[in-house]
Amino acid sequence: MKERAIINKNNFYIFLLFSISILINNHYANLGVLPIDTFLHFDLSFKILRGMVPFSDIWMVSGLVINYIQALFFYILGINWSSYVLHASIFNCIITLSTYFLLKDFKINTNYCFIYSIFFAVLAYPSSGTPFVDHHSTFFSLLGFYSLLLAIKNNKKIFWFLIPIFFGLGFLSKQVPASFIVLSIFLILIFYSYIFKTTEFIKFIIYGSLIFLLFIFIFGLLAGIKFENFLNQYILYPTTIGQSRFNNINLGLIFQKLVFHFKFIHIAILPILFLNLKKILISKKYIENKNFFYFLIILSFTYCLILHQLLTKNQTYIFFIIPILAAFSHQVLNSENIKRKNLFLLSLLIFCFFVTIKYHLRFNEGRKFHDLSSTDLSKSIPAKKIDKKLSGLNWISPEYKNSVEEEINFIINIKNHLEADKRNKMVITHYSFLATILNENYFSSAIGYPDDGTTYPLKGNKFAKNYKNLIVNNIKKNKIEIIYIIHPMKKESLYDYINAACFEEKIIFENLNSYKLLKCSDLND
């Protein structure tokens, strides 16, 4: 009877985690937008379904995996906001349940496994709500991290095999933080092999790597992706972005942010750090213990994530790591013979609860990831007013947070104008969903148009000529007759690559300009 009760409780927890992780993400995904980020993969996935080829028709710097997954969701469930959100919600569910099963495998009490996993579900994907490259890259890497821990703990071939697959998927979602983590894990495994005098696991990692690379190679061939374009856009071009960020590092500011911005992460990992360092000092042979390698892996994963956050210009989102670290701190404390153990465990749980509430209010309720902090979300307007494909979304954005109706009408006017213009067109805009809701290819050549060069090469970058060639090829191949630029995008996003003499510029109405194609040398065969 007792065993049956345990099984029933476990199944009940799984059901709750399944339901809550999906519902909470689904709820917050519908509150507000940051157009340039929110619709990034909405548009790209539609383009893929319409036959556009990444790296040939679209300058791609990230999101390969995420876009094809979303294209599959659109293919099965239809092109709409609900299927877009469901993608992220299911991912939140998968990573939450994986966290629960991992903690159970490390013999943490089932009740605590459930509690820490709930905290994780609240802080994981809901900060964005919709599919986003940083989240996907991190969570695929997290699955790789879990696989590594389980591989060392249980020495099962399948976990060694899965490690490169998960990290590969993470890298093909976004290069960082996956690449940082892979490098640190590689060094740890060399040390692991040396300490335990074993190389048996390496062949399974190689098998997993070869299978993954073979799959990607075949997939790339079938999708029409050219390796040269992939190399230039996904590997080489991002290094120019990374180099500029490393060159402009303010060490004082970095240190300040490292200490104070991530203080709760430091607190969550402190018991792990303190107890493991104590054991190292007491016994030099502790490095021959598996627990020491768990410590190294957890430490490296945590600070690789922090390093990524220090270098990125996106919002901080890694506070979901706190419940995981708290859970492992719980496990470490529980295994030690220390005074007032229960008090420490209770304090850890209370700490994790209040931190979860804090970041839930900031990122989920406050939609900080969407730059909507201190915004009255009740002023939002149902996005179905724009188009029924956006049903479920409550529209409010940072730029128009005090004039939502004005932005809605602006988008509708643009939509109506584009729909009435039957010419082959290219559209440069942050409102990338326009092509999707109108079921047209607008052949924009970049995945998005921020002004910092993170998604396409700016004028002066050594890859700017490659990007120009892609634009020109798109214009010629698709017989583009007119290009539209929508506020806040500026004509430089076009004139920096193609001579202004190639266009006849016209103001359609405020914040919408058209550029009719003329014969010119830049566009000649």
Q: What is residue 222's predicted lDDT score, i.e. its pLDDT?
A: 96
Only one residue has tokens 């010629």, namely: 476
Q: What is residue 137's predicted lDDT score, i.e. its pLDDT?
A: 96
What angle, 0 to 180 degrees and rounded to 10, lies between the N-to-C axes of helices 81-105 and 133-154? 20
Q: Is the pLDDT of residue 146 over 60?
A: yes
pLDDT for 476-520, tens place per residue? 999 999 999 998 889 999 999 999 999 999 999 989 999 999 988
Residue 97 φ then ψ, to 5° = -65, -35
Q: Is the pLDDT of residue 196 over 90?
A: yes
- Please give the helix or strand (H or E) that residue 442 lies within, else none: none
Q: Is the pLDDT of residue 3 over 90?
A: no
pLDDT for 90-124, tens place per residue? 999 999 999 999 999 999 999 999 999 999 999 99
Task: Give the dihedral sign, CA 98/100/101/103.
Answer: positive
Q: What is residue 245's predicted lDDT score, i.e. its pLDDT?
A: 56
pLDDT for 311-338, tens place per residue? 887 888 999 999 999 999 999 999 888 8
DSSP symbols for 473-485? HHHHHTT--EEEE
Please state, in angstroms and rounded to a whole number, the distance separating the CA atoms of residues 207 and 140.
19
Considering the chain, what is the average pLDDT of its residues? 94
Structure-derived torsion over alpha carbons of residues 179, 219, 128, 143, reported in degrees to the nearest 10: -50
Q: Is the pLDDT of residue 525 over 60?
A: no
- Please give the helix or strand (H or E) that residue 425 lies within, else none: strand 425-428
Angle value at C-alpha 474, between 473 and 477, nearest 5 degrees: 80
Task: Give the dihedral sign, CA 69/73/79/80.
Answer: negative
Only one residue has tokens 């893929």, namely: 48
Q: Is the pLDDT of residue 434 over 80?
A: yes
CB 119, CB 356: distance < 8 Å: yes
Tell me the Cα Rg of the chain. Answer: 25
Question: Which one, of 428, 389, 137, 188, lies nearest residue 294 by Cα?
Answer: 188
Task: Give the dihedral sign, CA 255/452/62/70.
Answer: positive
Q: Is the pLDDT of residue 277 over 80?
A: yes
The three-class DSSP label of residue 101 is helix
pLDDT for 235-275, tens place per residue? 999 988 866 555 556 677 777 888 889 999 999 999 999 99
CB 81, CB 393: distance < 8 Å: yes
Structure-derived torsion over alpha carbons of residues 166, 170, 175, 177, reported in degrees to the nearest 10: -90
Q: What is residue 419's predicted lDDT score, i.e. its pLDDT?
A: 96
Indicate the pairing of strand 482-486 with strand 425-428: parallel
pLDDT for 198-241, tens place per residue? 999 999 999 999 999 999 999 999 999 999 999 999 999 998 88
- Please give the helix or strand (H or E) that residue 405 lies within, else none: helix 404-420
Strand-by-strand arrangement of the 512-517 sheet: 425-428, 482-486, 512-517, 503-509
Q: What is residue 273's predicted lDDT score, i.e. its pLDDT?
A: 96
Please state, in angstroms and rounded to a whole number, the distance separating the CA atoms of residues 249 and 246.
5
Q: What is residue 443's predicted lDDT score, i.e. its pLDDT?
A: 86
- Domain borders along the chain are 2-369, 382-523
Q: What is residue 338's predicted lDDT score, i.e. its pLDDT?
A: 84
